[in-house]
Amino acid sequence: MRAADRFVAFRWLLVCTQALSIWVTWPLWQVRVAPAMLPLFELPQIGFGPLLLASLGVVLIHGGAGVALYSCLLLAAMLSDQMRLQPEFISQAILLWGTLPWAAARTVSRAHLIALWFYSGFHKLDCPYFYTGDAHWLVTSFFPAANAGISAAVGVSLALAEIILAVCAVLPRTRSVAVWMAYFFHLTIVVTLALGLGWDEAVWPWNMALAAAGYVFIDSWKETPAAQFRRLGLAMRMAVGLILLLPLAYDSGWIDTYLCHVLYSSHAPLAWIRTPDGRRVLIDTRPKLKVPVPQIERLYVAYFAAVAAPGDELEIFDPRLCSRWRMREHRVIGYERVMSGLWLPGHGNLELCVAQCSIRRKAVNCLPCQRGFSLIASPGRGPRRQS
């Protein structure tokens, strides 16, 4: 297939996979009372689902104008409700721009793919909880008797495979290998999630698109990275640089989780609501929306503020290096402090505790932390998602 034709064909595929993603998560795009909506700005709330599907139809007819319209509507939808800040929608929108006959946009899409593959593996290797968390859960879902050593070995292998895929995509001589690796890796993800686990259906269409993205963007890439970078204008050079380097700042706590490609790595915050009667409920909107609350501390706080009652407490487990360094992997924040805006680090008087998994100090006898770590170490199928 000619290069121009493969981009057009991939645009049609992306329209289908994005429409399917929206259909699967349909309640997410509607005006609703529960689960709570988390607007960034106070905007009039409208149902974006029909508008997004209609704009995808425009993409098939008018190309660039349709892509711009869809992107604007998607941005407006995310500003209206930050629950929609999901990686599958952001990623597919970036790839959709790359299907246009615009060399700079295709370079940005390639950079996005390379960053996605590399940092998905990097964050798995970087997180000490991955091997007893998501890796253990995945292996024991198929082989319940598997021990921790096998789970760790599988986890390391998966992470290294993602990093190798990114490296092969960058090197001209190994790009054909990257194309086949992308097919195998992402189609295996679809089969595993759909047939093996029956879980997380919101990302199935995205992975089908990513499986073909290697052929479209990497196989058609004939230049060296340096030569292509020199052809870009200043603005696009900065965009590519941000895409490739910004995820390194994830452990600093400055960048949102999904913008850093933290996927199935046990490296993203989790949160629970603790009630006065002793209940402890994981904040997970997947049963109703098919997606979780984006795993960002500020959005957990916003969600808690929208649904909690006086006397409730917000418990946050944050495995990022910035939290581990400050000895604040676990925090319990009272209702009054959340509502008064005094939940940010530095305000003091927060209830801080250290789980038994801490390697820097003697463990504190803290029941919430012990429960939190046991959930991370021995997860069930429910809480797991792109963490």
Q: Let me know if residue 215 belongs to a domain.
A: yes
pLDDT at 341: 73
**Co-location of 242 and 304 in the same domain:** no
The whole domain housing 274 covers: 270-377
Task: Return the higher-pLDDT residue of 376 and 66.
Answer: 66
Cα angle 196-262-293, degrees, rounded to a multiple of 5: 80
Residue 382 lies in a domain: no
Count structural domains, the chain. Answer: 2
Does residue 195 share a domain with residue 111? yes
Co-location of 256 and 293 in the same domain? no
Is 276 in the same domain as 247? no
* Three-state DSSP class for residue 337: helix
Tell whether 251 and 290 lie within a shared domain.
no
Residue 54 has pLDDT above 70, yes or no: yes
Q: What is the pLDDT of residue 381?
A: 34
DSSP state of 272: E
In a domain, 385, yes or no: no
How many secondary structure helices (H) and strands (E) does the chain include?
Answer: 16, 5
Let me know if residue 387 belongs to a domain. no
What average pLDDT does this structure show over 201-211? 96
Residue 384 lies in a domain: no
- Of 241, 260, 279, which residue is a domain's last? 260
101 & 143 share domain: yes
SS3 of residue 86 by DSSP: coil
Q: Is 213 a member of any domain?
A: yes
* Claim to verify: residue 166 and residue 299 sit in the same structural domain: no
Work out the average pLDDT over 26-35.
95
- For residue 353, pLDDT beyond 70: no
Both 242 and 368 in one domain: the answer is no
pLDDT digits (tens, 9 = 90+) for 170-199: 999 999 999 999 999 999 999 999 998 988
At residue 368 the predicted structure's pLDDT band, cuts being 50, 70 and 90, is very low
% of the chain beyond a pLDDT of 90: 68
- Which run of H or E residues covers position 281? strand 280-282
Lowest mean pLDDT across 93-97, 252-256, 315-319: 252-256
Q: Is the pLDDT of residue 27 over 50?
A: yes
Q: What pLDDT does residue 327 have?
A: 75
Rounded to an integer, the average pLDDT of 309-330 is 85
Cα–Cα separations (whole angstroms), residue 340 to 297, 316, 326, 337: 16, 18, 23, 5
386 lies in a domain?
Answer: no
Over pLDDT 70: what percentage of the chain? 88
The answer as to whether 292 is a domain residue is: yes
Identify whether residues 275 and 254 lie together within a single domain: no
Q: Which residue has the higher pLDDT, 284 or 339?
A: 284
User: Rounded to whole angstroms, how far apart are CA atoms 303 and 67?
Assistant: 31
Between CA 295 and CA 123 the distance in angstroms is: 15
pLDDT value at position 44?
85
Predicted confidence at residue 357, as pLDDT, reads: 32
Check whether residue 116 and residue 198 sit in a common domain: yes
Q: Which of 228, 260, 292 is a domain's end point?
A: 260
pTM summary value: 0.87
d(CA 266, CA 132): 9
Helix 234-245 and helix 103-126, axial crossing angle in degrees, nearest 10: 20
Q: Which of 5-14, 52-61, 262-271, 350-359 has the lowest mean pLDDT?
A: 350-359
Same domain, 73 and 130: yes
Q: How far is CA 292 from CA 21, 30, 37, 369, in A?
A: 14, 16, 12, 22
Which among 103, 102, 48, 110 has a CA at the least distance from the CA of 78?
48
Instruction: Say which residue, 92 or 41, is predicted with more confidence.
Output: 92
Choose one of 233, 260, 287: the last residue of a domain: 260
Q: What is the per-residue pLDDT for 308?
A: 92
362 and 227 part of one domain: no
